[in-house]
Structures are given as C-alpha cells and as structure tokens.
Structure 1
Amino acid sequence: MEDDFGYEGRRRIRIPLLERLRALPLVATGVFTAALIALILTTVHRPATWNDALPWEDQPSAAPVVAPVNPDAPAAHTPAPRTPAARPATTASASAVPSAGGTAPSPITATSPAPPPSPSPSPSPPVPPQQRTTRYEAESASRSQARTANDHTGYSGSGFVDYDNTTGGYLQWNVQGKAGTATLRLRFANGGCCHRTMDISVNGGTVHRGVRFDPMPRWDAWNTVTVTVTLTAGANTVRATATGREGGPNVDYLEVVQ
C-alpha cells in the first residue's frame, strides 16, 4: 500500500497526466491547421460558392420570364392595346338588369334615334326668259332735218346724228321684235343750256310725248334715256321727233331690249 500511495507512487501517477496535458496544444494546433488547409482548398476549387447565397439574400432570384409561344398574344407585363370607345349614338349598348328570380340579366339595347326626314326641296321660281338687246346706230336710221356728224368724241359706230335747230326733225328705225313689252334706250348728248324734248312713236302711233333729254356739261358727255313700249311680232318702226325749236339732242344709237 505504501508503494501505491507513497511519494514515489504519486509521482508515477502525475507524470502521465502532465504529459497528456502538454500534448493538448499540439493536438489543437494540428486540428486548426487541418481545418484551415481544408477551407483554403475548398475556396480554391469552388470560387463561386460564396456568391450562390449571399447573407442578405433570403431567397434565390426569380427565374427569367419566358416569351409566350403564341406570337399574337401580348407579352408578359405588356399593357393591352386600347380600343376606341364606342359612340353611344350609333352603337348599341347593353346594361345588366337582375331579375327577381335570380336568372341571368337580360341586355337592354339602346338604338340611335332615326334621322329627321330631309326637307323636300321647295320649287324654284320660274326662270324668266332671257332678254336680248339689239343695237341700231343712229347714222343707219332714216332721218329728216338731221345730219350725220362726228365732230365730238365718245360715240359708237361711224358717228352720230345732229338734229337741226327746228321743230319736226326726226330719226326712224326699222326694228325686229316679238309681240310684247320692250325697253327702248336712246343714247344722247346735249351740251346746250336747256333740256330738249322729243316724242316717241311706235308703228305710227305716239306712245310717249315730250320725253326730256337733259343738258350735259359738254357735247362729248353721253347719257341714256329709257322708255317702255309695246311691239308686235316681226318688223316695227320706232321714231323720235323733236318738239322744240332747238331741235333734238345728238343721238348715238337706239337699243331694243326684249
């Protein structure tokens, strides 16, 4: 018993324990070195493994969007094309009205109102017959106590007719007409101090007496006097007779409008 528990005995027990404790740092160093070498080898052979799952990423990224097989179908995240709104006046619209029995709602169709009937055209007024104007030069008419002259300007044709300063001188034209009313236009010049008068007769009968031909500033200033007469179909005679002692004015032409 003394050998087991004596000084020598205790020494034999303590020496193996101390040797074991001294070996622990060497073991720990070897384990740490082996783990470090394994970590380095893992990092060298798999460099991308650190990026597969980052610490701040809870879940992996979503799979890419695959284009639809149907080319006519709209792609993902693409808004549907806008269609023009229907016009309420021309397009029928349907509104759902629920029935009491719970059946499917029946559409209510709104139709556009019928256009108002177009007004019937009012009858146009009758078009009057087109009038015709025929000119007869004074120098071509038969005359009495009157002469052809051209000493003043502004006349038509080859000249004009100058009445003598006496009563009774006249000009007479043979005109063609149709039965009915006609307008006679006498172009004249009167450079005297006072008006001059003439009687207008048709087919031998006086229809206008004392027709006035007012004075003008000079003899080459021309004016027109208009009278209304009745003609017969075919040939007619129109006469302009001076009724004053100064005679008639200078006459350029006669126009018949009918």
Structure 2
Amino acid sequence: MSANTFEAPLVADLSSPAPDAALKDVRVGIVTFPGTLDDRDAARAVDIAGGTSVPLWHADADLQGVDAVILPGGFSYGDYLRAGAISRFAPLMSRIIDAANSDDALPVLGICNGFQILTESHLLPGSMIRNNHLKFICRDQRLRVENAGTTWTADFTSGQEIVVPLKNNDGQYVCDQTTLDMLEFEGRVAFRYVGHNPNGSLNDIAGVTNARGNVVGLMPHPEHAVEAGFGPDSTAQGQVAMGEGTDGLGLFTSVLNTLINGGSRA
C-alpha cells in the first residue's frame, strides 16, 4: 500500500459461494395477505438460495405456474377472530389447498402466521393458540430437525440442530391426544424446540409436516437466518461473528434441490 492510498479493513468476509445456476429455474410463490410482514424476507431467502421468487396476492385466483409456495409470517387481517382464520378463505388459498393435495403435491411452507393459516386450512393438523405466558416473544431459538425426509428439510439430517429467530404471540401448538400420538408415531414432527420451550407447545413441537412431506409449517423464522451479517449471532455449531448465523437457509435450498432433482411440481 502506497503512502497516498488507504484501504479500510474488512470487518468480516460476508461473501458466500454462488448457488447452482440451475436452481434459478425453480419459481417459488410468496403469498401476501393484508397484514403480512415477512413476505419480502421470504422472497429474499428464496433468491439467496438460488431460486426465483414470485409475488402472489391473496385475492388472486392464479398460482402463476409456480413450483412451490411460501405463506410468510405476519399478522394477516390483524389476527382478528383467530390467527389465520380469515386468510384461510382467501381465493388463492383454495388453489393452494387443491394443488397441495393433488397428485403433483405442490410444496407449501408456512412460517409463523403461515403455519397458523395451514392449520386453519386443515393442510396441517392441530392449532395455534396464545403463548402459555401470554406475552409476545422474540429471541434466537435452537431447533432440532426431527424429520429430514420432507421437501423442505431434505438438505438437513435428522437430529441436526439449527438456530433461527423466533417471534410470536400465538405460537403454542396444540392438538388432541390422538393427533399428537399420530404425529409422533408417523414421524410427522418436523422441528422441535431444544433447550427451552418458548410458548408451551405440546411435546416441544416447533413444526409439523403432512403425511406426504410436501407441506411443512413451523413457528420460528428461517428466512431471518439466511444471509451472513443479518442473522443470529450463533449457530447450532457454536458462536459466530455478529449476525453471521445462516442455519435457516437449508429450508429454502431443500425445496429447490428437491424440485431440480425430480421432485413434484405444481
């Protein structure tokens, strides 16, 4: 460096390998409802993973030929009546329900409020109620991947732990004992809280899947842990530099890789 040249040192190397160019062909629809907050975050997560995000409006009747759908977090319709209960009747949800249950098995991921909408739509069993401590909670949360055989968890291994942000008010997962026994027996608990149950969910359940594995819902927010410099300050492998936790990226690469490698498309 010459005496007349100054280069500011990098605080951290936030670069990451470029994703497989073939993943760009996978189009993932991000549904926005009135009150949705995390649609742009979900879209960015898809794009960072290498796919192509496609905005979808709740009142539309056309899925625009997308290969998968994400119902993002937020407070659709202000959580009036019951979280997700009004959004379940949006015109686009009828198309999503039909496509998810069709022979082509459209992959659908519901995050936080999206998880609530999936239970209200009966695409997933159970229901979400107020946190047992009756307070909104926001924290980085450790999870264990219990089922790595779904479209959205295929890039993980069963038993792998990840750290992603959690933020909810109605995050307590409940169901009747018969349903709970069925979920456990059939291996349909997708994610489980580790170390601390933040909302009183039965059996520490953080996320579940349908029987076919194409529909997954979880309460924590993997889309907020996909980009170094803007994620949690830790990962399941230990401490990292501030904001460099990217454990959530695996959900988005999972669906892209599954579809590129011969999985179902809508």
Query: Which structure has more strand as a fraction of its residues?
Result: 1
Q: Structure 2-normalised TM-score?
A: 0.21
TM-score, length-normalised on structure 1?
Answer: 0.21
Bigger radius of gyration, 1 or 2? 1
From the two aligned structures, give the one with the greater helix fraction.
2
